[in-house]
Amino acid sequence: MLRRWVLAPRPWQLLSQCRQFSTTRIAWARTVNPSSSVTSTKWTPDSIRTGLIARKRGMTAIWDDHGARVPVTVLQLENCQVTKNIVHVRPDRTEYHAVQLGASDRPKKTTTHQMRGHFRKAHVKPKYIVKEFPITPDAHVPVGTTLSAIHFVPGQFVDVIANSIGKGFQGTMKRWNFKGLRASHGVSVSHRSAGATGQHQDPGRVWPGKKMAGRLGGERITVQNLPVVRVDTTLDLIFVKGAVPGVDDAHVLVRDAKKKMLCLANANQAKGLYESVLPKGVDDLPFPAGTKEMVQSLPPVIEAPSKRSSPFIPRE
């Protein structure tokens, strides 16, 4: 009897197994049919949409209605499609929702067998890059949907994520903007040196995190609050004002700006400023995403409105 009692599962073990089984069933059911959790088809300040995977094509310049020159970065979509809807139940019983996207078609012979089956299940062509974007439960997109550049409305703000250009091993003046030593008197062949890095006998070492020479660049960088100036729905081009990290033809992740779009929208809604929930000139956002079907009823090129006042007129 003692041996049977030792080998028998404990009550708390049975309870944890039941919880794990229930969690797995819920996640599986919602992954198969994520539309069952969709409660709204219109964007709200509490909604978080999916982002896009684009390629950085380079920089150019455009001129607005006042004749002011605007430097822009051109981002192009390459058959960006939804490959999976993810619903995961965390140990604290909260849910994690995400949309997995794939972009840039690749040959089948260069794709692993595991990824071939993944893309075959989603009924899309093999992709070079696959990324997921966290969303709210009401922003799931059907698997196989092809997204368009109209997903971002001209006039709104976006965050762009990419790997910065690697610059190799650099000194402290270039890496950390150190002033350097004197260029004339009192210094011998050490003009760009970092100077002293240690202390006295106590502590007798260099503190961790000290700014010193090392490898510069090649890191994941997020550039925030870049305005969308123009959208070309025919070529799937997004013109973003300002610079974007990464080399030309590199993949970048584009999403709604967290600070100037999501946080500001929630704050203005809480204050009752419903006209300031979205930036000026933006009436609504495509929800849950901007697809190829929406492009048919829109003009090929959409531009953001210029500023009300001309930058060439002096202010009083």
The 10s digit of each residue's pLDDT in 24-33 is 443 444 444 4
Check residue 9 and give its pLDDT: 54
**Rounded-to-integer distance, Cα 301 and Cα 79, Å:** 19
Residue in this structure with the two tokens 């009550």, named with its chain if needed: 11
Provide block-wise average pLDDT over 10 residues at a time, the chain (316 residues).
Answer: 48 49 42 43 91 96 93 96 96 95 95 96 96 95 95 95 97 95 89 88 90 96 96 95 96 96 92 90 91 91 88 85
Strand-strand pairing, 95-105 and 69-76: unpaired
SS3 category, 198: coil
SS3 category, 49: coil
Check residue 35 and give its pLDDT: 44
Check residue 300 and give its pLDDT: 93
Check residue 185 and give its pLDDT: 86
Long-range contacts of 113-120 (CB under 8 A, 24+ apart): 118/83, 118/84, 119/83
Q: Which residues contact 158 (CB under 8 A, 6 or more apart)?
A: 152, 226, 227, 228, 240, 254, 255, 256, 257, 261
Sheet arrangement for strand 127-135: 81-89, 95-105, 127-135
**Rounded-to-integer distance, Cα 304 and Cα 177, Å:** 36
Residue in this structure with the two tokens 């709200």, named with its chain if needed: 44
Q: What is the residue type of 177? A: N
Check residue 25 and give its pLDDT: 40
Check residue 8 and give its pLDDT: 52
Adjacent-strand bridge partners of 216: 168
